[in-house]
Structure 1
């Protein structure tokens, strides 16, 4: 195999005499007279992944496998937080005092209504997860105090995990924005961040023995 010089005229066997081919950079001529690319250039390059400020992949991969930030999956955060606070308070009431049958029936209805209201403020992905985890009570039987405590505690724990994920995502976004701002400040020319300091009515400071 012969490696021609870049830009050199190289005769190719098997063609009309006098016919020449100008070799390009990284072009090789094999023993059979055909132009071939080096093996390392024919190999497929690895995909390039772009990560955004929230730590999520923005491109270079399968869009369907991209994980959605939890902040975008809570469509009504204020409503979800109100219902979560109510459920937590109900759990404390169930633990504090014994409940009669009428109270247990009432809490059963509140629990089912709370789950339904939560689903209205969540994205479909979180709704599916909540339905898989929170098993509804049977329509006939009245739940016991233990069953109510377990159901309420499970729902409270799920909501606390959701809120923790939101806080973590927001903190990561703030840190990324702060790092980006610091990078922009470092990219500014020297002394440009001091041009607005001092009295804006004063003229520029002159050098020399006289002011």
Structure 2
């Protein structure tokens, strides 16, 4: 299993841009029926988005994406294109949410490690000015700061 976001997503900014493009295309598709030129353009965008995702995701995420978004672009209908784009958008948004959660968990773990290290080293002062490890009184400055 991969440990960091950088190992599964090599280009997070590119992933965010692709997600924004797909979200906008899905919004446009909901505006009304598409003519043939619009359908061809959406097929092109879907193909390009999938190709770009190949570049910025690791192999396991790419395999999952290919299982989730299955479409034959050669003979797809407007409805199947809607479903494929909405599915892609949902998958991308889930991935972005997962990345945000992983980054938050990493930050929380880093903060907890730092707090543990500080308390183990005894360098932190308690509220009353006593060193937590030795119990000795430390000088605590009080008053107004200029």
- In structure 1, stretches of 5+ residues that fail to align are 1-66, 199-211
TM-score (norm 1): 0.56
| Cα distance, 1:197 vs structure 2 | 6.1
Asked whether the equivalents of residues 94 and 149 of structure 1 are also in contact (C-alpha less than 8 Å), the reply is yes
Q: Give the aligned partner of residue 3 of structure 2.
A: 69
Q: Name which structure has the greater RCO, CA cutoff 8 Å, separation 6+.
A: 2
Quick one: structure 1 residues 96 and 125, their matched pair in 2 at CA, closer, same or farther if it must change by over 3 Å? Answer: same
Asked whether the equivalents of residues 112 and 136 of structure 1 are also in contact (C-alpha less than 8 Å), the reply is no
- Kindly indicate which of the two structures has a greater share of residues assigned to helix: 2
Q: Give the aligned partner of residue 22 of structure 2.
A: 87
**Per-residue deviation, residues 121-149 of structure 1 (Å, max 9, x unmatched):** 1111111111222213242x2x3321121
- Once residues 56 and 139 of structure 2 are traced to their aligned partners in structure 1, the CA distance between those partners, rounded to angstroms, is 48
Are 1:155 and 2:104 matched, yes or no? no
Aligned residues: 129
Q: Give the aligned partner of residue 128 of structure 1.
A: 63
Q: Which runs of 4+ in 1 moved over 3 A?
A: 194-198
- In structure 2, stretches of 5+ residues that fail to align are 124-130
Are 1:112 and 2:52 matched, yes or no? no
Asked whether the equivalents of residues 69 and 169 of structure 1 are also in contact (C-alpha less than 8 Å), the reply is no
Q: Give the aligned partner of residue 13 of structure 1.
A: none
Matches within 5 A, 1:168-187: 168-187=101-120
- Kindly indicate which of the two structures has a greater share of residues assigned to strand: 1
| Structure exhibiting the larger radius of gyration computed from Cα positions | 1
